[in-house]
Amino acid sequence: MMIALVIFGLIIFFYLLSLAADFVVGNSSKIAEEFSLPLPLIGLLLGILTTLPELSLGISSLEHGVPAMSAGNLLGGIFVILSLVLGLNIISNREIETDGNWHSLIPLAVYLLLPAGLSLDGSFQYFDAIIMIVGYLVWLAVSYFPKSRGLKISLLAINKKSLAKQVFFIITGGIAILVFSDIIVSLSLFLLKSFNIYPFLVGVLVFSIGTNLPEISIALTSARKKAGSLSFSHLSGSAAANVLCLGLISLGGNMVTGAGRGAASWAYGGILLLLLLFLFYSYDSGKKFSRVEGWFLLVFYAVFATLQIFLVGQL
């Protein structure tokens, strides 16, 4: 009975966490539009902000002594974003246009592959964290700074009263995210002790979906409004922000992933590489993602999840 209540509590608090994140994102988006930021930069901003639950859960996981749960959440989140969420978005929207230039994805792909290589020894050290943080800045410089040239913001045209209200809402939502995250980690620890499950596996399969509910919501909203460019720029920004969060959380040094040093780590890197190569092909084929390619992305996620279930913990 107690276990059923804990599982029900997790579902409720993950839902509340997604609402709080959505609240923060919604008000931040209004501020971005008030400043008349370009669509790709708004997508980047949304990607960073929707990663707040992952960062908050990571901090709570460290405080409770289960860093592997956070590592699984962030690493699994990359697959959830680029295969599950993107695939569902493509299927619901039938097709999403791209610029057809797959070369623009190379910096993102290189950055997303960093954790796969750095985690082969079963942990993230301080030096690994620095590489991921600096890598994020390099990715920003290559991918987004050129698009911000010539950007002009008129402060006189901004409604300062409305801006203050939105900032207050963002802070309130951020506090709610911290509280809900701590409760989620506490409830998860009860389940870990009851079933003796690998914390990394819980992060990969459960947390990664729960914390990406805002991404799923925004992706489907973008699909309904046929704003494909916002959806893809947001999702790519969110995937990159996952690696940044992993770097920030790993600054303490020796963050054990709990996936083992063998098959699970190699499988993660191998499937991620294949997924990115598939995205290169899809991005370049006809300048749009087709519905068939969306289904293939869902298959990638299913294969990834299955391999992690059978391989996590094996040497």
Confidence (pLDDT) at 222: 54
User: Would you write out the chain's pLDDT as a tens digit for each of its 315 residues?
Assistant: 677 888 888 888 888 887 887 787 777 777 766 666 666 666 677 777 778 788 888 888 888 888 888 888 899 999 999 998 888 878 876 556 565 667 778 899 999 999 988 888 778 888 999 999 999 999 888 877 665 555 555 554 566 677 777 778 888 888 888 888 888 888 888 877 777 778 888 888 888 888 887 666 665 665 555 554 445 777 788 899 999 999 988 887 667 776 555 677 888 889 999 999 998 888 766 666 778 888 999 999 999 999 888 887 665
pLDDT tens per residue across span 49-76: 778 788 888 888 888 888 888 888 899 9
Domain that holds residue 200: 38-147+195-311
pTM of the model: 0.83
- Which residue has tokens 């939502």? 173
Q: Is residue 71 part of a domain?
A: yes
Q: Is residue 249 part of a domain?
A: yes
Q: Is residue 27 part of a domain?
A: no
Q: Is residue 18 part of a domain?
A: no
The string of DSSP codes covering 11-67 is HHHHHHHHHHHHHHHHHHHHHHHHTT--HHHHHHHHHHHTTHHHHHHHHHHHHTT-H
Q: 54 Cβ partners below 8 Å, 6+ apart?
A: 70, 73, 74, 77, 211, 241, 242, 245
For residue 109, what are the CA distances in angstroms to 18, 21, 161, 199, 277? 27, 26, 41, 27, 9
Q: Is residue 179 part of a domain?
A: no
- Distance between start and end Cα atoms, the chain: 35
Q: Is residue 254 part of a domain?
A: yes
How many domains does the chain contain in total? 1
Q: Is residue 85 part of a domain?
A: yes
Q: Is residue 240 part of a domain?
A: yes
pLDDT tens per residue across span 115-153: 988 888 778 888 999 999 999 999 888 877 665 555 555
CA distance 152 to 74: 35
Q: Up-side HSE of residue 36: CA atoms within 13 Å toward CB? A: 10
Confidence (pLDDT) at 197: 79
- Give me the CATH number covering residue 232: 1.20.1420.30
